[in-house]
Amino acid sequence: MNSSGMKFAFVVWLMWAFSVLVTGGIVTRHTNIKCEIHDQSFAEVKVCRLKVLGRGIIGANVHLHILSLPIKTTLINFSVFKKMSGYHPFLFNITADLCHYMKHPNPSNVFFYFYRALTPYINVNHTCPINYFSKQHDVILKDFVLDDKMFSIVPAPVGSYMFLIKLIANGALRATIYSYLDINVDKP
């Protein structure tokens, strides 16, 4: 990082620390991530891990190498669980048609808010079908830091959560991603 980049990062960090102190803002943090492939011929997990990017800043990294193309349909089943002696379903259980969503992003669908938080970090921004000619057909999520704003629009009581993301491509369940995070569990 060059010095102006570092200054910028420091200013961002100061602003973040300030907003937490002054507003008692929401502090969210990844605590774990797991990727499970149900069909080895469909995809391979190259990366699935958390990485410490800075003080209290944790990025999620996922790289799925897709082996079976073309992909004509993609459904995401997305559900949220809250930990209370075991994980229990919490508020959200939605299905999104990713191919349709890429063409017609819809702010009235709650999925929009979750996906929008991902967009700066994920390479998937193209429409379907995804085939051999597509420039990028791997799914890469790089250094995804939770956007605290994401939780200012949805009720998010203090606690530990699990996001369960099922990837259903060409009509079958191919992969499941378990993403664990804390909200305001121990504010710095």
Chain contacts with ligand NAG (rule: CB under 6 A) = 77, 79, 89, 93, 95, 125, 166, 168, 173
Task: Output the smallest distance, CB 108 to ligand NAG, in A.
Answer: 18
| Burial classification of residue 175, based on how many CB atoms lie within 10 Å of its CB (0-12 exposed, 13-18 middle, 19 or more buried) | buried
Task: Output the smallest distance, CB 164 to ligand NAG, in A.
Answer: 7
C-alpha 33/C-alpha 47 separation (Å) is 11
Joined together, the tokens standing for residue 82 give: 């809250």
Task: Output the smallest distance, CB 55 to ligand NAG, in A.
Answer: 28
* Residue nearer to ligand NAG on the CB measure, 93 or 152: 93
Task: Output the smallest distance, CB 136 to ligand NAG, in A.
Answer: 7
C-alpha 162/C-alpha 52 separation (Å) is 19
C-alpha 66/C-alpha 142 separation (Å) is 17
| Burial classification of residue 6, based on how many CB atoms lie within 10 Å of its CB (0-12 exposed, 13-18 middle, 19 or more buried) | exposed
* Residue nearer to ligand NAG on the CB measure, 4 or 40: 40
Task: Output the smallest distance, CB 90 to ligand NAG, in A.
Answer: 9
Region label for 93, one of left (φ > 0), alpha (ψ between -120 and 50) or beta (otherwise): beta
* Residue nearer to ligand NAG on the CB measure, 97 or 147: 97
Q: Which of 86, 93, 108 is nearest to 164 (CA)?
A: 93
* Residue nearer to ligand NAG on the CB measure, 79 or 170: 79
* Residue nearer to ligand NAG on the CB measure, 6 or 172: 172
Task: Output the smallest distance, CB 109 to ligand NAG, in A.
Answer: 14
Q: What residues contact residue 61 under an 8 Å CB cut-off, 6+ apart?
A: 47, 48, 49, 50, 51, 141, 142, 143, 144
* Residue nearer to ligand NAG on the CB measure, 38 or 49: 38
